[in-house]
Chains A and B, each alone.
Chain A
Amino acid sequence: MNVAVMKTKAEQAISESFEVAAAKLPGSAAVQARRAQAIGAFSGLGLPHRRIEEWKYTDLRANLKEVLPAAVEDKTPLTIAELLVALGPLAHVDAHRIVFVNGHYRAGLSDTSDAAGLMTSTIAKALQSASEEAVARLASTPEGGDAVEALNTAFMTDGAIVEVAKGASVNRPLLMIFVRAGSDANAVTVRNLINAGEGASATIIEADVVLPGAVRDTHLNTLTEVSVGKGATLNHVKVAVDEGKSLHLSNWEVRLAADANYSGFQFSSGLGFARNGINVLFDGEGSKLDLSGAYLARHSEHVDTTLVVDHAVPHCESRELFKGVLDGHGRGVFQGKIIVRPDAQKTDGKQMSQALMLSEDAEFDSKPELEIYADDVVCGHGTTSAELDPDLLFYCRSRGIPEKEARALMIESFIGEALDKVEHEGLREALASYAMQWLGRSRRG
């Protein structure tokens, strides 16, 4: 009997793609060894599919048929003006900027010159000279074997390393821009490391955008590891805006030290097939987590948000609020697990996931889970899915507001509650503008 696991064509192609790319991927010998180990781990795991509980609604194996070549290098010409066009409403946010084109750092487009308290460098550079010890930090893959994160380690080309100095309060947000440009459909793999030092405070935005006219059917695999130090405050926002053809695999691995304040927000519209994983570990007492997001999907787009909030220590608070707007055959998936470990007394956790269904063919799957092993805790979760209220629509229309605009107003009001979680006003307005663009409405003057 043949012991080899049956592999899909795509799984084989991924391994072959690694053979081709390996020599061009950045990294010292220690890094190359780590990459080889990761692709080995992936081979064992294969692409996650619907018979794996956490991937029940999001069958990656069935949806990743064509393997694109890894974007090992990039020379696509791109000007600042083009970058601003690609950014859209976010271009109006006054921010420090670090830019990656097709997964490769572009010094010429970046500007972090006056960012006091903020140190930025790149993964590619760090990998080049990484010792064995450094590899453990730069290319860690969480235990338990996540195939997507293993692929990230194997293929990562670049990304940002961000250090917010101890006690520093950074004046403006840092905008990490990942722009896709050019006409080559390829697979872009990015790794970011963010570390907010003790007592620091900063706002960091990740933006996945596409230059108008650029190829749309790309694959993205992004892993951002975040560590929030004791008493530090980090506002972390991810914006992914596309036009329905791309495959997005995104992961956030967040670790919170004691008395930390972490507010994470994810906005997406037009993602073809997306899995947004967010894992948060409470690693010190007295911390607060506020996770929220809004996603807009239509046609046959698929957006999955899968959270694991791990209350490993007592006296922490977590809040989650995710809102999805689903039109056409769009499908939203929400899986939210709150774990309260035996020691984590006085945990306060609340989770809410809501979908607004704009069409009969849209689908929403929600799976909240509470795993509670402590007795003195307050935890709750809720899920709702509703259509636009016809009485409200009539009320708006009776005031002269045309149907399309009335619907847009209702949709804006639905996601508004989530957007309100974004503290930075300019950023909040930019997100509202993306939503309005999606709704086919112009910016409100």
Chain B
Amino acid sequence: MLEIKNLHVKLEDEDREILKGLSLTVPKGEVHAIMGPNGSGKSTLAYVLAGRDGYEVTDGDILWNGESILEMEPDERAAKGVFLAFQYPMEIPGVAGLTFLRTALNAVRKKRGETELTTPAFLKLAKEKGAKLNIDVEMLKRPVNVGFSGGEKKRSEILQMGLLEPTLCVLDETDSGLDIDALRVVSEGVNALRSPDRAFLVITHYQRLLNYIVPDKVHVLADGRIQKTGGKELALELEKSGYAEYSNKAA
């Protein structure tokens, strides 16, 4: 279970508070969506979950399976099952996708007390999981994300997620920049991972994604706090009325 308690986050270099007492609980087996206007702090929440530098938690806590993760390094969190699919996946020139995936997978397996995969076993797995996301070996041989289209980058994020088998999946605007076909492929990839011992936090600006990845709950994030929580119908409401109501509340 993910428990975010009264989380206050400010930028390290600036005296500006982005998250102002955010509380949220996602039980295992559930998919929760976070929707909110641009600049409301959705990516900040995602980054703080994954352990990126540059943010300062001034109050509150984040517990994953009852354990605070705030003091953990990003790679320790990954080993504990935390995975962030980036809104803007990074390009890594000079590092082949396969090398990157294998290094990551074996690092995580090692930390989880599992044996490292041999090259043939890894290749087989990567091919299998890649095929489901329309990612072929040629694409995996290319440097990570370099020259990939928006859709290719998002699909390769989901492949990484599928390989690393995280238990807390945070998806930051995975739908942005996707056409309808890519959206379907990506959603199928995500849905295939839904399981009773996985929790999902799906961040999105639009309701569209939630037609494919149907959430158990929808939270509205505005002004650094959860303003409203509801079922999947809340997303449809937001689609009609927009976020103006919450932005006003913020003002």
Contacts and interface: CB of A to CB of B under 8 A. Distances in A.
Contact of A402 (B53, B99, B107): B107
Given A391-B90, A395-B90, A400-B75, A405 B107 contact: yes
B111 A412 contact: no
A416 to B, nearest CB: 4
A376 B106 CA distance: 54
Contacts of A387: none
Contact of B52 (A394, A409, A413): A394
* Most B-side CB within 10 Å, residue of A398, A403, A405, A444: A398
Contact of B53 (A390, A410, A416, A417): A390
Given A401-B103, A409-B95, A409-B100, A445 B78 contact: no
A158 B75 CA distance: 53
Contacts of A403: 73, 75
A414 interface: yes
A445 B118 CA distance: 8
A445 B103 contact: no
Which of A399, A412, A417 gathers most chain B CB within 10 Å? A399
A399 B101 CA distance: 9
A399 B159 CA distance: 12
A8 to B, nearest CB: 44
A303 B92 CA distance: 27
A399 B104 contact: yes
B108 interface: yes
A397 interface: yes
Contact of A398 (B84, B92, B111): B84
A400 B73 contact: no
Given A401-B103, A402-B107, A405-B103, A392 B92 contact: yes
Contacts of A391: 90
Contact of B92 (A400, A413, A444): A413
Nearest to B86: A395
A410 B95 CA distance: 8
Interface residues of B, number: 32
B111 A395 contact: no
Given A400-B104, A400-B164, A405-B103, A394 B92 contact: no
B94 A397 contact: no
Nearest to A392: B90
Contacts of A414: 94
A403 B53 CA distance: 13
A435 to B, nearest CB: 12
Nearest to B85: A398
A413 B84 contact: no
A397 B52 CA distance: 9
Contacts of A413: 92-95, 143
A337 B118 CA distance: 48
B218 to A, nearest CB: 25
A400 B53 contact: no
Interface in B99-130: 99-100, 103-105, 107-108, 111, 118-119
Contact of A400 (B86, B99, B107): B107
Interface string A96-130: 00000000000000000000000000000000000
B160 interface: yes
A414 B103 CA distance: 17
Contacts of A405: 103, 107
Contacts of A401: 75, 103-104, 107
A398 B74 CA distance: 5
B50 A400 contact: no
B94 A417 contact: yes
A118 to B, nearest CB: 34
B78 A399 contact: yes
Contacts of B108: 399-400
Contacts of A416: 94-95
Contacts of A445: 118-119
Contacts of A397: 51, 73-75, 78
B79 interface: yes
Interface string B138-180: 0000010000000000000000100010000000000000000
A394 B74 contact: yes
A412 B73 contact: no
A408 to B, nearest CB: 9
Contacts of B160: 399
A409 B77 CA distance: 20
Contacts of A394: 50, 52-53, 74
Contacts of A400: 75, 78-79, 104-105, 107-108, 111, 164
Contacts of B111: 400
Interface in A370-400: 390-392, 394-400
Contacts of A402: 75, 107
A431 B232 CA distance: 56
Contacts of B74: 394, 397-398
Contacts of B95: 409-410, 412-413, 416
Nearest to A417: B94
A410 B103 CA distance: 12
Given A395-B86, A399-B78, A409 B73 contact: no
Contacts of B107: 399-402, 405
Interface of B: 50-53, 73-75, 77-79, 83-84, 86, 89-90, 92-95, 99-100, 103-105, 107-108, 111, 118-119, 143, 160, 164
Ranked nearest first, the 4 interchain pairs of A and B with the lowest CB-CB distance are A413-B94, A400-B78, A400-B108, A399-B104
Given A403-B73, A417-B93, 18 more contacts: A394-B53, A396-B92, A396-B100, A396-B104, A397-B73, A397-B78, A398-B51, A399-B100, A399-B107, A399-B160, A400-B79, A400-B111, A402-B75, A405-B103, A409-B103, A410-B92, A412-B94, A445-B119
21 contacts: A394-B52, A395-B90, A398-B74, A398-B77, A398-B78, A398-B84, A399-B78, A399-B100, A399-B104, A399-B160, A400-B105, A400-B107, A400-B108, A401-B75, A401-B107, A409-B92, A409-B99, A410-B92, A410-B95, A413-B143, A445-B118
